[in-house]
Amino acid sequence: MSAREPGTRWVPEWSYKPGPDVAYEAPAGLREAQAMAKAVAAAGLAAAAPGVTEQQIELAVCDALEQQGAAGIWTITTVGLGENARICFPTHAPTTRAAAAQDVLMIDVHPITRQGFWGDVTRCKVIGDHPLATEALRDLEALHYEVLAKCRPGMPANELFGLCHDRLEAEGFVLLDLLANIGHSLTPGAAYLHKFIDAGNDTPMWGAWAVEPFAARGDIAVKVEDLVWFGRERCEIL
């Protein structure tokens, strides 16, 4: 942990340059934050079972954050079951809704490491025997990683949105995001600085961007999110 002057904030040791001279590789602290986010999300999924509530799952996430040594979170943990999985937004906190025998759980976690780096991951889990939900989640994850494989340094955000949106429509999905995007920029200590991955944002993508398609097929809502490093020469899923 780096030294901090009294009365000052922790800030990530990440010299961010939003342009073609961005670092070749993601900072080690960002990798740590994302590894933490994945571990914490997995702990939340593992806690889910019929009868377990969203708030109980959130507490399992909180326990995992503490075990991982997180310094805090940069926005709320989103936990959605059933109908609540159709809204993933920081104004919708976990509720007392309990998981059903056939259900979908969505968890979106946002840890901060003690060095000040931010992570961001969303994962879903199908609870019980629910073939349509299992198929929807599998198809969304497959198209997500297919699209991420097409990422290239400096590509416009709206181009990535178009690639993803075309694949969503081809697979029968409808975008659910309340702001009609599939993700956002992530800079040291701040999200959304370069806005969203949507149809109207032609910002070149450099550094870290969270890519998070959130969509429904029929009445089944699913989401997946990963952080991508748009480096000087290549892109990497963290």
pTM to 2 decimal places: 0.93
**pLDDT band of 17, cuts 50, 70, 90:** confident
> Would 226 be classed as within a structural domain?
yes
10, part of any domain: no
* Tokens found for residue 44: 């939340």
What whole-number distance in Å separates Cα of residue 3 and Cα of residue 19? 29
- Separation CA 209–CA 100 (nearest Å): 34
Residue 105: CB atoms within 10 Å: 24
- Specify the DSSP class assigned to residue 13: S
Give 85-134 pLDDT, tens digit per residue: 999 988 899 999 999 999 999 999 999 999 999 999 999 999 999 999 99
Provide the pLDDT for residue 13: 66
Structural domain count of the chain: 1
Q: 38 is in which domain, residue-wise?
A: 28-237
- d(CA 169, CA 69) in angstroms, rounded, equals 40
Alpha helices in the chain (DSSP H): 28-47, 54-68, 131-148, 157-170
230-to-12, 20, 77, 83 alpha-carbon distances in Å: 18, 10, 26, 34
In sequence order, the 6+-apart residues with CB closer than 8 A to the CB of 218 are 132, 136
Residue 2 domain-assigned (yes or no): no
Question: For 34-76, what is each residue's pLDDT tens digit?
Answer: 999 999 999 999 999 999 999 999 999 999 999 999 999 999 9
3-class state of residue 58 by DSSP: helix
Provide the CATH number for the domain around residue 175: 3.90.230.10
Is position 8 within any domain? no
Question: Does the residue 175 lie in any domain?
Answer: yes
- Would you give the end-to-end CA distance of the chain in angstroms? 22
With respect to residue 16, please indicate whether it lies within any of the assigned structural domains.
Answer: no
